[in-house]
Structure 1
């Protein structure tokens, strides 16, 4: 394209733009001070545009033409004279309200880049950067009209650092992402190459207050992070690193907060904080602080380590601020580094749960009748076993020196106090009547499971699924039931049964089948109504003998696709599913250490089987989950006093916790129970060591056991799940709890301000916890504060215990008290904005320094 055509095209674009407010026509001054286009000006022809050539001798007549003779025309005033003293410029007033046009390469480039012509002098300084098409294209991606010097310079810095928008915060972040070692940082090299390095440091001063003489990227990172920390920690406490504390604290805080929350880039931040901790010895500073001073700070991993260390030391010293520790740990769940320490925190939560029970019963667990102890266990004491199990589940995932100290405390508490006392107390409560009848008043016996729960349902034509999980003890069943209820409110009830004794698989599995008699023969085989009950095939026959339209299947042989699953169970009204994950792992010496991991896996497998396959694939409505027996497990090695010698008698069956024999003997260390209560077993006896004692047996595998008569072994769950369809009258739709801002004032007068929220109801069956994200935005919805999260999950009846407090920090900028700003409350799970609350921001002069 010829140069004349290019110029005409550019001019046409100028004249085609809409009129500004108050304009009736277009007047454009074409300033060609170098007289590059003086030879072609006469060739410039455009419809509806008059061309006037201005020179040093026709200023007055030009003004006359513009203001009077051609006052209704669009005008192009071609000017080659540059007037240095504005007092000599007859057309100054006209130039002010008119537009300006340049047609040299720089002007055309500025036009292309949408940079205002008033920035010409500044643009010339950086024109070398825009020499390459690739760099111009990178700049054009911002799609912004560059109206001022800040936009131009930050735009260049943003373009060099591959920022997504013209944003100095992103410039600094991208530099840190590249490298804090300047010799390895390509962006810093380009800043120097294109003459913007001084500008970068000037903006670092302006935005973050960084004005040290010996500047470096490494020191800038330390400076911003230290200044951010100084908002939450008394500055005198940071005196050892006070040289890195600046005045623009809000912007430093927001910079770190936004970087931490950036899902794409936070990992580099995490790595750099390790460098920071090493360079500043911040851990030594934290050691001098009280827990209350840093319990809410999330900027560094060392705060999490310090919190964990303090709680562990408090547990060791038996300081009983248990609720405080739990609140602190729950508060950490919304902090940046929580996932790095999640297993340690969750292990501590469960350890604290154990200590809270000890605080209640430390002087001795209750003694009394078997029914009293049974009911106390299913109501409350089972939690001790849950806490112990979950402690080790998380401990095994993050085994550290500090957590090993907790492990020693937990083992002492569980094995030497709880397990010993509860097992001894219960086995001592088993009186002659219970030994003879093996029953507890108002408690369903395992051998009555089918007649109590299943028979009437299948007789009435209902389809029923029974999942029998080997060693799925009561407390694990409670865990499963609670999870199912979280999924479908009121879908699941959790009760218990008294299992058979000895609590071994062959007897437990037989008892769960329909039965009139259960007999053990001399070879230790168990017969149900004269039918061998060993193995799934035999159990299938026993089921069909009672109810023909039934089937027994192995969980591990269930198809993993919907079509085959439906086909396998097609037509059956009663389905027994045999599941074996816990016992298969734990009942082997080499793998018993994985008992609690296997337990968690079992819960997940059964939950998936119910929700995804039984309900999701075939619309199953009635599901029962139970077990053949429970178990005892302890992590520490057994002492010699935890074992007794086996009796030299002929046995029908035996394991580490029981003997079955036709011989009648008396031994004070053993419980002796006649098996006649179970069926036609008048001459058969079971012998079990009292408490949690094991028989001495050679070989591995003594920590996980079952077969005895402790509560952990003989209480099995009955988890009854009822699929409540959404159109059912019984269907209850759970909803997330409401959270309301309680601050009466909607006016912010300080850069740092506190907000208080109220969880309107306690968490329960119909009310679910909620996780919310909170931040401030301006009228253009740009975020102007840090972003904080809260979790409303309190189960307390007391309103004061359902209060939630956060502290927000505003960006350091000019706020207009006449503008409307908003607090945004967003659901963390769905990303949906729950509420936008208007605020007025009116900051005092000293507000930036009030921390």
Structure 2
């Protein structure tokens, strides 16, 4: 009955029979015959060892050793007890040459099926046909143990077969979902599929196919195949998502298309499932000519096709063509992207990356179609306002698009034409147009008087932002100065920080000092006045050199004695204990962060600028969390010494101006400071009277670069708003009674009067009750229909993150009921689970009534 002694009862019964026979024998000898009709796969070793311990020899009878058996038992070992084991049925008496020995011996008979049923806890009478048919499966002890874990005592033959198949396929359970997946993930080649081979070896493959076809509603066939089942699943899913494909796909009959759809939809939603399904679906795409069929559909219909990976290829080609040659306004391209982002294959990092690229590329095209804003009617104050409210978004969108394209490893070579086209517009029209007006402002007023009235000045930052808090509040103030954090990056950082719980965040533009470079910008952000720049370019504040953290700390302490300055990384690496000790009793802490400028200012690394901008934003978000958590920071300012211009294309010869000559103290690609400076064509002299310095400065006009040292792509020092308008972020941790204990999210409800389900496919309308804001965050919902604890529909994930008005905050979703008998009037619920955070929580259950007539 098994390779080991599963058969304790069997061995015990044998020993009991031998004892009975020995007690009747004068010589205390017994001979027992065992004709084992269920011998296939049996291992006698455990039984042999148990009997030999009691002095009983096991002799195996074959078709050809009857006379050898007779001689051994009756001549050679007349006093030895024997179990004569015959692994076949008992022959008729007339053909049994050992009948004479059998007549004076005993025959061991057992109802193995009854023993097995008892061992498995099954009803012997009910389970006998099943156990008889699957007796080979139950020969192995481990299989029996696994069967017991899977089987239902009150089940029927279908349940028992499912348990056998689950054991042989190594499925997680007997649920059809797990069982079928376990088979399909081993491939569609039936000869190579190890799960099918196990069923073929230890069970009955025809039974498995009968079970499989019945579950998915396929009609019986004399030649079942895994490919037919998989093809049916895929076709049902594809046609449900995209009905327009029905006439183009092979006709595969099933009476349970919804069951097929929900099975594949659930599997596609899992990352591990997609890795299994991708090669199988790719083969079907080729066999069915899906690429050509999808190309004939409208883009909206392609966006609906959740089944095939090739749908993304078709839609991406369409988006690329539209943005290259046909424009974007009024085409609903973003709606297609948003719809596609909910599809299973768009959850793959590479595909999601491509759609993120197109989101930014689309925004760039819309900016392009919007036309250049009329800057020429603006004053200097309006120039800053226009940039800080609108134009920075173009810089930000372009940076994100290029970062995704060049840093995220996108292999789509065909997108390079779109990148080149948008780069050309960004640099030759947007930047050049903005540069032209900036030059006009400089020539008209700003060259002589750089500070703009009504705009926060870098040189007044400490006086206007820090001093008032020091005077009126005992709060400790952290000031993070991130080198080259330009305004658009600050806007993204501000938005990210605004998502933190109990955070009050504001963003304000500040006009940086001109020339817009590190030494002058860092000095201007300190308390006091810039008093000098020496021949080596060192900037002095109140007579103290402002170069280096230790000197800046001295300048800080001259204004506020309880002050400290650190490199940001050095401070964070101190850890909690040393860090708190270092700032004990301090009122103002300056922290210097250098991620962007350290990379951009080096010619060999400047191409990584956008990557470092993203890293800087991420780092600063983490730093704020560290400061508020570990160091109990309540108020944090984040600003920059200057911004930067970045040009992806090669700098043309006509953008290169000659070097500035004269008594030059400091010179770079976009500026020079000194005395008696020349002003080459392409340059503009600016007054430094606003700093009360007896010096001159020359800055590059437009997008020009001087023939000086440094990189060509990443530059700063000039008056362009990208260089000279920097962010001031104020972060305040809310505490006391106003502090929120948990994040507040938008509310969601089902916006339907009638909640009666009359068809297997039906739509549910969801409504997001409030706009997403800094105080109300998005909510992620997982929804499905349940009858009790049984899910009876597909499952959908929804994101409610709209910032639009109420009329735009609806989402309509299609649910598909699994086929079944639903008594008229039976209740079910639409269960909505909140999956926004790391833990899943029940959000709401909306009751529905089932009145499905088209069974």
How high is the TM-score relative to the length of structure 2?
Answer: 0.83
Q: 2:828 aligns with which of 821, 825, 835?
A: 821
User: 2:114 matched to which residue of 1?
Assistant: 107
Write the deviation string for residues 508-549 of structure 1: whole angstroms up to 9, x where unpaired.
001001113332123322111111111112111111222221
Bigger drift between 165-174 and 589-598 goes to 165-174
* Other-structure match for 1:160: 168
Map 1:273-422; keep pairs closer than 5 Å. Answer: 273-321=281-329, 324-340=332-348, 341-362=351-372, 367-396=377-406, 397-399=408-410, 400-422=412-434
Q: Deviation per CA, 1:72-130: give whole Å up to 9, x if none.
A: xxxxxxxxxxxxxxxxxxxxxxxxxxxxxxx9432342243343443433432223222
Q: 1:691 aligns with which of 695, 699, 702?
A: 702
- Structure 1 Cα separation of the partners of residues 362 and 511 of structure 2: 30
Q: 1:89-128 maps to which residues of 2 (within 5 A)?
A: 104-116=111-123, 117-128=125-136
**Aligned partners of 1:191 and 1:811: how far apart in 2?**
28
Task: For residue 320 of structure 1, report the CA deviation from its aligned partner.
Answer: 2.3
CA distance in 2, matches of 1:311, 1:245: 35
Q: Which runs of 5+ in 1 are unaligned?
A: 7-102
Distance of 1:315 and 1:330 partners within structure 2: 16
1:66 corresponds to? none
Shift in alpha-carbon separation, 1:414–1:2, aligned structure 2, 3 A? closer
The structural deviation recorded for 1:330 is 2.6
Distance in 2 between the 1:555 and 1:666 partners?
39
Matches of 1:189 and 1:669 in 2, distance apart?
A: 79
Cα distance in structure 1, aligned partners of 2:175 and 2:563: 68
Aligned length, in residue pairs = 745
Kindly tell me: are residues 2 and 292 of structure 1, through their superposed partners in 2, closer, same or farther at Cα, counting changes over 3 Å?
Answer: closer
Deviation at 1:723, TM superposition (A): 1.2
In structure 1, C-alpha distance between the alignment counterparts of 2:368 and 2:11, rounded to whole Å? 93
Q: Which moved more, 1:521-530 or 1:376-385?
A: 521-530
Match among 674, 686, 696 for residue 687 of structure 2: 674
Partner residue, 2:456: 444
Q: In the superposition, relative to structure 1, how do residues 778 and 114 fare at CA in structure 2: closer, same or farther (>3 Å)?
A: farther
In 2 relative to 1, CA 685–810 (structure 1 residues): closer, same or farther, beyond 3 Å? same
Quick check: 1:574 aligned with 2:599? Answer: no
Say which SS state the counterpart of residue 630 (structure 1) adopts.
coil
Aligned to 2:493: 480
Partner of residue 663, structure 1: 676
Given candidates 613, 638, 653, the residue that maps to 2:651 is 638
CA contact under 8 A between 1:228 and 1:253: conserved in structure 2?
yes
Of 119, 139, 144, which aligns to 1:131? 139
CA distance in 2, matches of 1:783, 1:447: 64
Matched, 1:720 2:730: yes
Q: 1:756 aligns with which of 765, 782, 786?
A: 765
**Residues in 1 aligned to 2:226 and 2:376: alpha-carbon distance in whole angstroms:** 65
Note the 1:499-518 alignment, pairs <5 A: 499-518=512-531
Q: Greater RCO between the two (CA within 8 Å, min separation 6)?
A: 1
RMSD across aligned positions (CA) = 2.6
Question: How far has the Cα of 1:363 moved from its partner?
Answer: 7.3
Q: 1:265 to 1:361 in 2, by over 3 A?
A: closer
Residues 367 and 230 (structure 1 numbering): CA distance in 2 closer, same or farther, change over 3 Å? same
Give the drift of 1:554. 0.8
In structure 2, relative to structure 1, the CA distance for the partners of 1:367 and 1:730 (3 Å cut) is: farther
Kindly indicate whether the alpha-carbon contact (under 8 Å) linking 1:520 and 1:526 is maintained by their aligned counterparts in 2.
Answer: yes
2: CA distance, partners of 1:586 / 1:322: 38
CA-CA distance at 1:311 after TM superposition: 1.5
Deviation, structure 1 residue 245? 6.1
Q: Tell me by how many angstroms 1:187 deviates.
A: 1.7
Match of 2:810 in 1: 803
Change (3 A) 1:766 1:551: same
The 2-side partners of 1:268 and 1:502 are apart by 58
Partner of 1:81: none
What TM-score results when the alignment is normalised by the length of structure 1?
0.83
User: Match for residue 653 of structure 1?
Assistant: 666
Instruction: State the match for 1:468 in structure 2.
Output: 481
Structure 1 partner of 2:794: 786
Q: 1:366 to 1:142 in 2, by over 3 A?
A: farther
Measured in 2, the distance between the counterparts of 1:153 and 1:411 equals: 63
Match of residue 578 from structure 2: 564
Contact persistence 2:504–2:732 (CA under 8 A): yes
1:223 is matched with which residue? Answer: 232
In structure 2, the residue matched to 1:702 is 712
* 2:329 and 2:369 in contact (8 A); partners too: no
Counterpart among 118, 124, 144 of residue 152 in structure 2: 144
Secondary structure (helix, strand or coil) at the match of 2:564 reads: strand
Q: Distance in 1 between matches of 2:458 and 2:151?
A: 74
After TM superposition, give the deviation of residue 733 of structure 1 in Å: 5.9
Q: Specify the alignment match of 1:534 in structure 2.
A: 547
Aligned mate of 2:267, from 259, 274, 282: 259
SS, match of residue 833 in structure 1: strand
1:377 positional shift: 0.8
Give the Cα–Cα distance (whole angstroms) in 2 for the partners of residues 359 and 140 of structure 1.
68
Q: Structure 2 CA distance, aligned partners of 1:731 and 1:749?
A: 44
2 CA distance for matches of 1:145 and 1:119?
Answer: 11
- Which of 171, 183, 201 lines up with 1:193 in the alignment? 201
